[in-house]
Amino acid sequence: MTHEGGCLCGAVRFRCEGEPLNVRICHCRNCQKAMGSPFYARALFPQGALSVTGETARYASSEAIDRVFCGVCGTRLFTRRRNGTADGVALATFDNPDAFAPTEHIWVSEKIGWVKLDDGLPQHQRTVPP
Ligand SMILES: [Zn+2]
C-alpha cells in the first residue's frame, strides 16, 4: 500500500510504503507550539518507509525529535526521530487526508482546555505504555 502527500505549495512531496506503526493524536505542549495547532495528528512509519522529494528544513524541538517542514511554504510535514527509527507524518498533508484515522489520544495531560474529546478513542495522560 502506498500513500502520497505533500506541502501546501507543492515543493515537497512524499510517499509512504506499507502500513503505519500507529496513528495517534498528540496533545503535548511541544506539538502544540511546533504545529501552531491545538494538537498534532500523525501516522508513524518506520523511517525507511518514507521517501521525500524537494527541499525541507528542520528544527530540533527536543533531543529526540526534529520537526521537518517545507522551506518555501512552511507546511509542517514530519516529525523525525533523531535515533533513525521512525517518522511521524501529519495526517492533513496526505493527498487523501482520510487515508488514516487516529486510534488514540496521547499526552492528554497537556491538552488545551477547550478541546473536547468525544470520539470515544482511548485517552492516555502521557504516551502509550509499552
Ligand atoms: Zn511548500
Other CB atoms within a 10 A radius of the CB of residue 112 amount to: 11
At the top level of CATH, the class of 2-110 is mainly beta
Distance CA 59, CA 67 (A): 5
Give tens-digit pLDDT for 68-97.
999 999 999 999 999 999 999 999 999 999
Give tens-digit pLDDT for 8-67.
999 999 999 999 999 999 999 999 999 999 999 999 999 999 999 999 999 999 999 999
Q: 118 C-alpha vs ligand 1 centroid, how far in Å? A: 33
- Spacing of C-alpha 81 from chain mean position: 11
Closest CA to 45 of 117, 93, 11: 93
Other CB atoms within a 10 A radius of the CB of residue 124 amount to: 17
pTM of the model: 0.94
Q: 77 C-alpha vs ligand 1 centroid, how far in Å? A: 10
Distance CA 15, CA 66 (A): 19
Q: 67 C-alpha vs ligand 1 centroid, how far in Å? A: 15
Q: 73 C-alpha vs ligand 1 centroid, how far in Å? A: 4
Q: 26 C-alpha vs ligand 1 centroid, how far in Å? A: 23
Q: 89 C-alpha vs ligand 1 centroid, how far in Å? A: 15
Closest CA to 113 of 35, 42, 24, 32: 32
Q: Grid coordinates in use for 68?
A: 521537518
